[in-house]
Structure 1
Amino acid sequence: MKKLLLALGLVLMFAFGGLHLLPNETTAQQLRPLNAEETRAWERRLRAYNRAKARIQLNERLDSNARQQAIEQLQIDYFDDVERTRLRQRDRQQHVPDL
């Protein structure tokens, strides 16, 4: 019986892990506060990214699809996976409508 429960527990752990319902290293890194040096580096890259993003958004030669693709590429160029997740969270927080 113990082996059956252990096997079931392992199956569930892998199933939930595959569905990203369990914390992983990336989640832990996202939750970890940045130290002062990391914060300054993040803010520098964020300012440069925002300037480049504004230039893309103002470029009248690009249609909306091309703008979106250019912005996505910009995110890849400026930020790693964890930082892009942090950027998306930041963008969602800034676009929350007042209720």
Structure 2
Amino acid sequence: MKSSPLVVFDLETTSLCRTSDIVQIAAYSEEKKFDTYVMPYKPMSPELSAMIGINVDGNQMLYNKERVMHKIQFQALNDFIIYLSFFSKKPILVGHNI
């Protein structure tokens, strides 16, 4: 019997506070990868922005000073759920910075 797949995912956020906004969701399994940038409602702390390389300039998101496509929070989270639904068995989630 095939075991459930393991999906490791990471969230980058606007700060280290519990009320911070998500700015990136990345996930990896042996079968599939997922990565999306998320436009935050709250400003990013300059220290964290420098550390992770993600910055918001008006309505643009930048990663290492290059524009990246981004989504609104609802769409990004919905896309992550859709990504998880494509596994043949319910995956086991392992999270970092969640």
Q: TM-score, normalised by structure 2?
A: 0.29
Q: By percentage of residues, which structure has more helix?
A: 1
Q: TM-score, normalised by structure 1?
A: 0.28
Q: Please tell me whether Structure 1 or Structure 2 has the larger radius of gyration of its CA atoms.
A: 1
